[in-house]
Amino acid sequence: MLNIYKTEGGQVVRQEQLTPGCWVDVVEPTPQEVEYLTGELELDQGFVRSSLDEEESSRIEAEDNGQVLVIVDLPVAQRQEEESLRRIDRTVGAIEPATVAITSALAGVILLSVMLPLMGLLSTIG
């Protein structure tokens, strides 16, 4: 996703077009957006490549040509993933004892349904 912003009158305003002094905010760019950044906007390819690296640390880097790279690494997805795993663990922990009890009861019923006729057959033989 690619958005253009500019500070005007002390407020951040979203722009539709590139204007002097604006900045381009890029999150999970598509291949077409990467091509636009490096081709049309002539952004430093090293900036674009490093920003796509998931292991890249937060930092600010400036080039002599006036381009500035700002990488902000926020572990938002990680926290959501961990919370989802905790919810799954709680749900499984609540359901598992009932599942074991029901499975055990079904196994017992199946064994009895097989064993009782066999016991009756054996008693008539012996």
Predicted confidence band of residue 45 (pLDDT cuts 50, 70, 90): confident
- Asked whether the whole model's pTM tops 0.95, one would answer no
> Would the pLDDT of 22 be above 80?
yes
> Would the pLDDT of 111 be above 70?
yes
Q: Both 59 and 90 in a single domain? A: no
Q: Both 49 and 6 in a single domain? A: yes
Using CA atoms, how far residue 8 sits from 5, 19, 24, 99, 112, in Å, is 9, 12, 15, 61, 80
- Report percent pLDDT > 90 for the chain: 6
Q: How far is CA 115 from the centre of its chain?
A: 52
Q: Both 83 and 103 in a single domain? A: yes
Q: Total domain count for the chain?
A: 2
How far apart, in whole angstroms, are the C-alpha atoms of residue 125 and residue 112?
A: 20
pLDDT in the model for residue 62? 83
Q: Both 94 and 42 in a single domain? A: no
Q: Both 33 and 58 in a single domain? A: yes
Query: In whole numbers, what is the pLDDT of the chain averaged over residues?
Result: 83
Q: Both 95 and 52 in a single domain? A: no
Final residue of a domain: which of 71, 93, 110?
71
Q: Both 48 and 6 in a single domain? A: yes
The secondary structure of 55-74 as a DSSP string is TPPPEEEE-TTS-EEEE---
Q: Both 85 and 63 in a single domain? A: no
> Would the pLDDT of 88 be above 80?
yes
Mean pLDDT of 57-73: 82
Q: Both 45 and 97 in a single domain? A: no
The parent domain of residue 110 ranges over 75-126
List the single range of 25-29, 34-38, 117-121 with lowest mean pLDDT: 117-121
Final residue of a domain: which of 50, 71, 92?
71
Q: Both 10 and 65 in a single domain? A: yes
List the single range of 52-61, 74-83, 97-106 with lowest mean pLDDT: 74-83
Q: Both 18 and 53 in a single domain? A: yes
> Would the pLDDT of 77 be above 60?
no
